Amino acid sequence: MLTIKLAFRNLFRNTRRTILTVMLIALSLTALIAVDGVMRGMLTLLVENVTGTIGGDAQIHRVGYRENLDVDLFMENAAEIERTLQRDTSLKSYSPRVMSGAMISSSYNVAAGLLYGIDAERERSTSKVERAVLRGEYLAGGDTELLIGHSLAELLEVDLGDRIVLTLSETITGELAQALFRISGILDFGVRELDDNFVFINIASARKTLAMTDQQTHEFVLTFLNPEDAENPEHGIFQQFNNTEIEALSWLDLNKEISFIIEIMAYSSLMIGAILFLLASLGVINSIFMSIYERIYEFGVIKAIGTRPSEIVRLILWEALLLALISCVIGMLLGFAVGSWTAANGIGLGEIEFSGIAMDNNILGEFHISQFTTFPFFAVLLTLAAALYPARFAAKIVPSEALQRSL
């Protein structure tokens, strides 16, 4: 107890230096909590945008379909798959789709694009298509309704109510088929790829145009009640729908580059933390060394009267521990304040596209328990590690030299 009391009082011998060192550690912790909060917010936003636009948390396809979007690689048993999906209580929603490359023509221009036939009702709760309607109306089940990206509409020089002709190949036979549609809505996803290339029609019309039956589907897009289920390869969906015929892939499997970016972002807090605390550790080493040099005569005296080298090390480590604990309390309070501000106000990005994904919202900082447990734990650990070197130096002080040097 007397050692702890001595360590605590020693801390406040040079109050200004102690405050500066405390602020160095505390602000490093604050910065780390804030950066981690923003990183987590950015990850959440990125994942929401990846899964929330049209991709969903997971998708089911015929094996090989994803490689070249071959319209002949459709699933035959849509109703059976739907029955299984309906029984799965972990799913929030699912929606069947048929897709095909198409030549999209207006009276003025022509462009190559991608046709999505969607179940308008199911799609409402599965993707962002309805929310992306900039002008006009969402699909209501009509045979000729068509939604088109705003930049594709500009290219084709068309607007609401204008006619669009889709030219595509029928499944199996490969015969050319054409169908006439009228633009019912203009879309703005904020994602160039979607706004430049995609058109959406009702799934029944798409099947009819592609000469597909009601049971034939290219894709089921799924969303989970708990989005983290998508990251669990042991989940029932992935177990049931992965065989030689069909495959169920999570958004992580479907977006390899995004998943890589997310992995890098997850490490970024670690890297930023390592840099911050490395710098702070150098400050701690410097501060403790200065404190030891100021007390070198005193160390000579207490060693002379019988304090063991290990007890000197313990004293310095107690000083470092108390310094770290005070710093962590301040750092966590400041971190909570900064984190609360970013959680409430966010960091405005404007409307940007990140790796093909629209990020048109503020990044809202997020709190996580690790910010107030793991980070302070490592701050304490690193402060103690930083104190070891000066502590060893103090333990090796030769009393006769220390007593003569300082008088």
Partner 1 sequence: MTAVISTFEVCRYFGDDQETMVKAVDRVSIAIERGEFTAIVGPSGSGKTTLLHLLGGLDNPTSGSVELSGTNIADMSGATLSDFRRDHIGFIFQAYNLIPVFSAEENIEYIMLLQGVDASERKRRVADMLQQIGLEGLGNRRPNKLSGGQQQRVAIARAMVSRPQIILADEPTANLDSKNGIALLDLMKELNQQSKMTFVFSTHDEKIMSRASRLIHMHDGEIELDELR
Which spans of this chain sit near partner 1 (rule: CB under 8 A)? 2-3, 5-6, 9-10, 13, 297-298, 301-311, 398-400, 403-404, 406-407
Nearer to partner 1, 131 or 396 (CB): 396
Q: Is 100 helix (H, G, I), strand (E, B) or coil?
A: strand
Shortest Å, Cβ 303 to partner 1: 7
Pick 301 or 349: Cβ nearer partner 1: 301
Q: Count CA atoms closer than 13 A to 403's CA, side-chain side.
A: 9
Cβ closest to partner 1, residue 7 vs residue 191: 7
Distance (Å, whole) CA 86 – CA 205: 24
The residue (of 80 and 401) whose beta carbon lies closer to partner 1 is 401
Q: In this structure, are strands 91-105 and 219-224 parallel, antiparallel, or unpaired?
A: antiparallel
Q: How do 145-149 and 176-187 pair as beta strands?
A: parallel
Phi, psi (degrees; rounded to nearest 5) at 171: -70, 160
The CA distance from 358 to 128, in Å, is 11
Side chain identity at 407, as an amino acid letter? L
Largest Cα–Cα separation, the chain: 102
With vertex at residue 321, the alpha carbon angle to CA 11 and CA 299, rounded to the nearest 5 degrees, is 50
Closest CB to partner 1 among residues 5, 131: 5
Evaluate whether 51 touches 359 at the Cβ level (below 8 Å): no
Q: How far is the CB of 297 from partner 1 (least distance, A)?
A: 6
CB 294, min distance to partner 1, A: 11
Name which of 152, 118, 154, 158 is nearest 138 in CA terms. 118
**Least CB distance from residue 235 to partner 1, whole Å?**
59
Smaller CB distance to partner 1: residue 344 or 407? 407
How many CB atoms within 10 Å of residue 184? 22
Are 52 and 355 spatial neighbours (Cβ–Cβ below 8 Å)? no
Using N-to-C axis directions, what is the helix angle for 309-345 and 296-304, rounded to 10°?
130
Shortest Cβ distance from residue 1 to partner 1 (Å)?
Answer: 8
Q: 264 vs 398, which CB is nearer to partner 1?
A: 398
Copy the structure tokens of residue 400.
């006769």
Nearer residue to partner 1 within complex by CB, 276 or 391 = 391
Instruction: Fill in the amino acid letter for 376.
Output: P
Least distance from C-beta 4 to partner 1, angstroms?
Answer: 11
Phi, psi torsion values for 108, nearest 5 degrees: -115, -25
Closest contact distance (angstroms) between CB of 17 and partner 1 is 15
CA distance 397 to 407: 15
